[in-house]
Amino acid sequence: MALCPRALLGQPALNQDSELTGPSNDDYRSPFRNWDERSAVRARPRRTLSPDDDSSLYFSPDLVPVAAHDLVRHLRPELFEQVLTQHLYRYLAFTEKLETLVVNGTVLAIASGSVGVPLPDEMRLDAYRIYCDEAYHALFSVDLMRQVVARTGTQPVLPDQPYFLRRLQEIQAALPSPMRPLAELLFVTISETLISATMGEVPMDPTVAPAVRDAIRDHAVDEGRHHAYFAIFLRHLWGALDSAGRREAALLAPRLIDAFLRPDQPAIRSELQSYGLTRDDAEQVVSEVYGENTVRTQVAAMAQRTVQYFAALEVFAAPEVADEFHRYGLQPAAQ
């Protein structure tokens, strides 16, 4: 891991001569004040499927983009149910891999003080709380997936490597070595501040199995605290960078947002063919559901809050940064 605490322990900060200093210790108001009473790992039971769940869906059809396409909507009922189940698997696998392969390595580095960003002691302690949360999110994602597989007999159809991870690695590989840890740190900060419709809407859908709704609600409540934390962390990170570092970070941000949010179209094509669609039909579904304008609009909507955080850092004052955000369809909301 680029941010392995053992590897970075004792290294100097990102820049010891930064022009800005981050917010002072007195400015930090922890989002985790009630963590012991409210976090899922501390306060929520294991979410288990019940016999009544057999008549429920495993995901909200309105939140599965391909489910609205005629070629998918008119599949045999048992195949259409598999489409929804596979989407749940995709969500759970995404969560597991993100938390274990990227987020928790970075969070542990923040907690141990090895990322080169001066933080209040309470922020470092809260990073350990996030570490516990994310490990539990991975655990309940794997647990729930195993339960659904056992209940339905439907095996997950998933790529060997998460799409977001492959794209992050490609971005890092194209950067000078000293910039790679910063890219990963920014990627985690961005991923933790994006807004997901899944977390807000699935828990409210009575057609979805209660265990699924409850697990996603647990995840959403925890991630609300993480969002608040990383919005604060971004300001501290900016204060630890010199002007050149801030420029590079700002130029990287749109690519990282796109890498995290862009759908894995090759995997979706492959999945559609597993339902009996021809290659041409699968391509038609993907091209019509995930047209570039549609994807850019969805990415922009989910990233709006994150873009505003960067706007508050005045990154759009630099024309080249504004142009880079615009190239990815990302703009701050009009004031």
Percent of the chain with pLDDT over 90: 85
Q: What is the pLDDT of residues 100-128, one digit of tens each?
A: 999 999 999 999 999 989 999 999 999 99
Residue 139's nearest CA partner among 147, 127, 128, 149 is 147
- The whole-angstrom distance between residue 179's C-alpha and the CA centroid of its chain comes to 21
Give this prediction's pTM. 0.90
Contacts of 196 (CB under 8 A, 6+ apart): 220, 223, 302
Strand partners, 208: 57
Please tell me the distance from the alpha carbon of residue 300 to that of residue 328, in angstroms, as a whole number. 8
Cβ atoms 92, 142 nearer than 8 A: yes
pLDDT, tens only, 194-233: 987 778 899 999 999 999 999 999 999 999 999 999 999 9
Q: Is the pLDDT of residue 37 over 70?
A: yes
Question: Exposed e or buried b for every residue in 295-334, given b needs 16+ CB within 10 A?
Answer: bbebbbebbeebbebbbebebbeeeebbebbeebbbebee
pLDDT tens sequence across 54-79:
778 999 999 999 999 999 999 999 99
Residues with Cβ < 8 Å from 6, sequence gap 6 or more?
Answer: none
Q: Name residue, tokens 């963590």.
A: 35
Q: Which phi and psi angles does 70 have, rounded to 5°?
A: -55, -40
Burial of 32 (0-12, 13-18, 19+ CB in 10 A): buried
Count other Cβ atoms within 10 Å, centred on residue 67. 18
